[in-house]
Amino acid sequence: MSREPYAFSLVDVFTTQPLAGNGLAVIPDARGLDTETMQRVAREFNQSETTFVFPPERPGNAARVRIFTPTMELRFAGHPTLGTSFVLRERGLVARETERFVLEEGIGDVPVRVDPGRPGEAEVLWLTTPPIAFGPVFDRAACAAALGLEPGDLGEADPQLVTAGNPNIYIAVRDREAVDRAWLDLAGLRGLHGGRESTDAVFVFAAT
């Protein structure tokens, strides 16, 4: 590392309770860190994601943000965007009176809006999802097998790849009980991609 120390914040996103919600590590001034070091730092924190904040590249934007899991960099992710926005406001890097600002991420510009809420309530941050792209539809029986389920456990919608920066195979199942029974067979996941390794996530859900 080119300088010491680097400040960081550990935040819990999607909750008002400490040690609940989605954990996130944020380095609010990551200048001087290269990609390899950021990946090593993210592995050391071992949160689902760690974000690194840099000055914006385009005038008018609030910051440039890079997002890492312990093993790879992401172009976009929701809870890291919101958690980083919270830290920037708490540290005064985005003025508290600012109601709208933009973060630069791998996917492009991500607008963030601040909802002050009603008196006595905590403010809420909202982001605008990057453009959503719909990919291939997958064989239902193969998806069921990859989840340790029967084809009859699946819902009506066909399994499909959907992405707003991070590809997910969305697989609808018929009820909560099927969600709870599902487990991911990595060999079965490779089978969905013709035997190739894939970084696609699998999102199993039931309409309730």
- The set of catalytic residues is 49
d(C-alpha 168, C-alpha 181), whole Å = 19
d(C-alpha 58, C-alpha 111), whole Å = 13
Shortest CA distance to 189 belongs to which of 152, 144, 132, 135? 144
Radius of gyration over alpha carbons of the chain, in Å? 19
d(C-alpha 201, C-alpha 169), whole Å = 6
Shortest CA distance to 111 belongs to which of 132, 130, 87, 86? 130
The greatest distance separating any two alpha carbons of the chain, rounded to the nearest whole angstrom, comes to 57
Q: Which long-range contacts (CB under 8 A, 24 or more apart) does 3-8 make?
A: 3/32, 6/30, 6/33
